[in-house]
Amino acid sequence: MTRIKTYIFLFTILFTTRLQAQNKYVIAQKGDGIIKLLQRNNLSPSKYRTAFIEINKNQIGKNDQLYAGVKYKLPDVKTNKEETKVKTTDKSKYPVRKYKIFGSTYDTIHITNNQLKSCVFYLVSGHGGPDPGAIEMIDNKMITEDEYAYDVTLRLGRELIRHGARVYIITRDNKDGVRDEKFLENNYSERCYPNKKIPLNQKKRLRQRTNIVNKLYKQNKKYKYQRLLVLHVDAFHPTKSIDLYFYHHKRSKTGRQLANNMKEVIRRKYDQYQPHRGYNGTVTYRDLHMISMTDPPTVFIELGNIKNSRDQQRLMQPNNRQLLAEWMTQGIIKDKLSKQR
């Protein structure tokens, strides 16, 4: 009996020690959000955000707010077969780069792998400059399409660069950078790459963007995988909630394939994080200027309905904007890997 008690005691010590070794605690710093804290500790927000919230739910404030000086538990690192294709590699083998366009908090990017090496992406967020796009009022504050589309675009650019891609931010704002606020203040300081004033006239504005994209496309003709991604936010009746939907050129098999790969990854993510919700995003062709007048294969993405309260959470919560960027990147990687088979 004494020997059995000894074994149980030893097992308890070993088991407890193993759990303690798995569970790492970190102290939140001023300005930390869940995404920033996870990234600083080399954990993918898209993979570990839900687990982090669950194990720390009693210490997280409204809208997933973290409190500076509070100790938080990090989730156990587990292998996820679905994520193995985009897993992080040894950072010592890859460079660290800085880009002012992403702002002082996010300007440093650790290249984690070369899965998108020799790939070129042109990222255009809708409207900008003198045109804010769709507008809605919430709590006597104005939210605008161009600011939220731009923030997701910047986050998408960072994710693509992390995987070795060459990225051109066509609609750009040297003042904003990536922002973690819920309400993104509207301004009119966006420019067109490299630093051109954006015209008020819509036709001139679209022609300006297509011209620079086509010029860069020709300059980068040695790269076989070049893609244009255009991000917008739609505006419908407030009762209409929409999922991300994708447009491509009618005759572009390449654009359609990329759109389908992005949609499929996002559909799986919704099934994973919101079971039984369903996903109604679509992939269709449409004759839009940014699709029909540009040379690279193009995917035009609508991120949500700015007037719908449910879609507003997708756009306004910084954690959700980051997840959109990560999921779209995984869809792009899926598309790129399919080209190599």
- Alpha carbons 252 and 299: distance in angstroms, whole number: 10
- Alpha carbons 26 and 46: distance in angstroms, whole number: 19
Identify the bridge partners of residue 324 per DSSP, sorted by sequence position.
Answer: none
DSSP state of 254: H
- Alpha carbons 254 and 248: distance in angstroms, whole number: 9
Contact yes or no for 258/297 (Cβ under 8 A): yes
The number of beta carbons lying within 10 Å of the beta carbon of residue 312 is 21
> According to DSSP H, which parts of the chain are helical?
2-22, 34-40, 45-55, 145-162, 202-219, 253-273, 289-292, 309-316, 318-339
Cα dist from 289 to 10, 204, 255, 262, 299, whole Å: 70, 11, 15, 22, 12
pLDDT at 209: 98
Question: At 274, phi and psi to the nearest 5?
Answer: -135, 70
Report the candidate in 256, 323, 299 with the shortest Cα–Cα distance to residue 121. 299
pLDDT at 114: 94
Provide the pairing of β-strand 225-234 with 298-305: parallel
pLDDT at 23: 56
- pLDDT, tens digit, for every residue of 296-336? 999 999 999 999 999 999 999 999 999 999 999 999 999 99
pLDDT at 54: 78
**pTM, entire model:** 0.78
Cα dist from 123 to 52, 150, 192, whole Å: 31, 9, 11
- pLDDT, tens digit, for every residue of 89-148? 555 578 899 999 999 999 999 999 999 999 999 999 999 999 999 999 999 999 999 999
> What domains are there in the chain, each with its CATH number?
2-73 (3.10.350.10), 87-339 (3.40.630.40)
Whether residue 21 has pLDDT greater than 60: no
